[in-house]
Amino acid sequence: MPRPILATIHPAAVQHNLARARRAAPDAKTWAVVKANAYGHGIERVFEGLRSADGFALLDLDEAQRVRHLGWRGPILLLEGVFEARDLELCSRLDLWHAVHCDAQIDMLAAHKTNVPHRVFLKMNSGMNRLGFTPERFRSAWARLNALPQVDEISLMTHFSDADGPRGIRHQMQVFNEVTRDLPGERSLSNSAATLRHTVPAGDNATDAPDTLMSDWIRPGIVLYGSAPDHPEHTSLDWGLLPTMTLSSKIIATQAIETGASVGYGSKFVAEHPLTLGVVACGYADGYPRVCPTGTPVLVAGQRTRTLGRVSMDMLAVDLTPLHAAGQSVGFGTEVTLWGRASNGAVLGIDEVAQSAGTLGYELMCALAPRVPVLVDDGC
């Protein structure tokens, strides 16, 4: 029998979360962001849940090919555009739309031979200082693209640095709106956080409020995968999101320890009273963060408890005290949920575990290790 560790992907939950994102911006079209292999879930595994998206946004050409291979004939957007000239040939062949964020990409387009002009998304660096033309150079880049026979429609995009936090999007919106006011083309602005926090449905007469926005294409990523973009200010429950990945395993040993006994490498946990611990077949080589300290939440038989001591490569320890207190018999073979949904329906949000590790749900789902078997849950 293989080790009992298992990741379960829930495409129906992905579908639910996509609908949630759409409700926040009902007039916009939706790019389902599936970069990084659908945030570690596997593009093929979540595809059914994302069929109602208007397009797929990603970075890697091989991922774009995989989406086409799944039979998707609608729009696909390369969020970082092309990396070298010959990528444009694949864009022509697979009908990929691509971001244009620098002069080198315009040069490559100008030299590209194609019968069908490309749909491009011209990216502005409105303050994030990662990709894009500065506001000063944006309009000349637009004019240059517009003059190219290789280019069809030009859409306008930017990306927010603080949509999830107190600084918000207002400063970047002002820059973007000022520079693009009279330029034609569709706009794509909002990631998950901006979609949930800063979009007000049309009809609320809110278009004039400087920190709400209307966008022709929203670009939700993390919400599709059931994680709150602004945890812990809001939880996934607050936003009405469902977990899309469950990481589960089983107890493979128990130890009854006395007061003063220590647990695991470095003796990081020392018992203050006698207790029984369960040893779980899950460690950092499975993608569970090694930095999670004693006290990280975990579900045993669907009941909440905590980890004890350091996470090792293949194992971690959990406190069975609350289960014993409830009179539950647990031991070898008992189900453990590291994040996601337990068999009894209890949910442990990936964001809570991420918070313990000082990181975000994004990183945990993307870091699921290749050695973990993955099952697709057809039920939910």
Ligand X SMILES: *Cc1c(COP(=O)(O)O)cnc(C)c1O
Active-site amino acid positions: 35, 265
Q: Please tell me whether residue 180 adopts helix, strand or coil conformation.
A: helix
Reading the block at residue 1, the tokens are: 């029998």
To the nearest whole angstrom, how small is the minimum distance from the Cβ of residue 194 to ligand X? 8
The answer to whether residues 306 and 297 touch, using CB atoms and an 8 Å cutoff, is yes
Reading the block at residue 187, the tokens are: 């706009």
By CB under 6 A, tell whether 119 contacts ligand X.
no
Cα angle at 173 between 102 and 27, to 5 degrees? 100
**Rounded Cα distance, 218 and 236, in Å:** 19
Q: What is the DSSP letter of 117?
A: P
**Length of the chain in residues, anyone?**
380
230 or 319: whose CB is closer to ligand X? 230
- By CB atoms closer than 10 A (0-12, 13-18, 19+), residue 3 is middle
Segment contacting ligand X (CB under 6 A): 82-90, 173-181, 191-199, 324-332?
Answer: 191-199
The answer to whether residues 349 and 339 touch, using CB atoms and an 8 Å cutoff, is yes
Segment contacting ligand X (CB under 6 A): 172-180, 218-226, 252-260, 328-336?
Answer: 218-226
**Binds ligand X by CB under 6 A, chosen from 7, 18, 50, 79:** 79
User: 242 to 271, contacts with ligand X by CB under 6 A?
Assistant: none
To the nearest whole angstrom, how small is the minimum distance from the Cβ of residue 192 to ligand X? 3
Annotate each residue in 151-190 with x if it binds ligand X (CB under 6 A) or - if it does not, as one string.
--------x-------------------------------
**Binds ligand X by CB under 6 A, chosen from 40, 55, 132, 229:** 229
Does residue 313 have a known ligand-binding role? yes
By CB under 6 A, tell whether 221 contacts ligand X.
yes
11 or 309: whose CB is closer to ligand X? 11
By CB under 6 A, tell whether 222 contacts ligand X.
yes
Ramachandran class of 369: left when φ > 0, alpha when ψ lies in -120 to 50, beta otherwise: beta
Cα angle at 261 between 257 and 266, to 5 degrees? 125
To the nearest whole angstrom, how small is the minimum distance from the Cβ of residue 131 to ligand X? 8
Segment contacting ligand X (CB under 6 A): 213-221, 268-276, 283-291, 330-338?
Answer: 213-221
To the nearest whole angstrom, how small is the minimum distance from the Cβ of residue 207 to ligand X? 22
To the nearest whole angstrom, how small is the minimum distance from the Cβ of residue 99 to ligand X? 8
Query: In this chain, which residue has its C-beta nearest to ligand X?
Result: 221
Segment holding 337, helix H or strand E:
strand 335-341
To the nearest whole angstrom, how small is the minimum distance from the Cβ of residue 59 to ligand X? 7
101 or 310: whose CB is closer to ligand X? 101
Segment contacting ligand X (CB under 6 A): 22-30, 47-55, 147-155, 219-227?
Answer: 219-227
The answer to whether residues 299 and 280 touch, using CB atoms and an 8 Å cutoff, is no
By CB under 6 A, tell whether 10 contacts ligand X.
no
Output the CA–CA distances (angstroms, integers) from residue 191 to 21, 143, 167, 199, 378, in the order listed: 10, 27, 15, 11, 28
CA 52 to chain centre: 18
The answer to whether residues 88 and 108 touch, using CB atoms and an 8 Å cutoff, is yes
Judged by CB under 6 A, the number of residues near ligand X is 12
Q: Closest Cα to residue 220, out of 14, 377, 10, 64?
A: 14
- Radius of gyration from C-alpha coordinates of the chain: 24
User: 14 to 73, contacts with ligand X by CB under 6 A?
Assistant: 33, 35
**Binds ligand X by CB under 6 A, chosen from 55, 220, 309, 349:** 220
The answer to whether residues 144 and 106 touch, using CB atoms and an 8 Å cutoff, is yes
Q: Which residues bind ligand X (CB under 6 A)?
A: 33, 35, 79, 159, 191-193, 219-222, 229
Which residues contribute to the annotated binding site? Answer: 130, 313
Which residues are documented as binding site for substrate?
130, 313
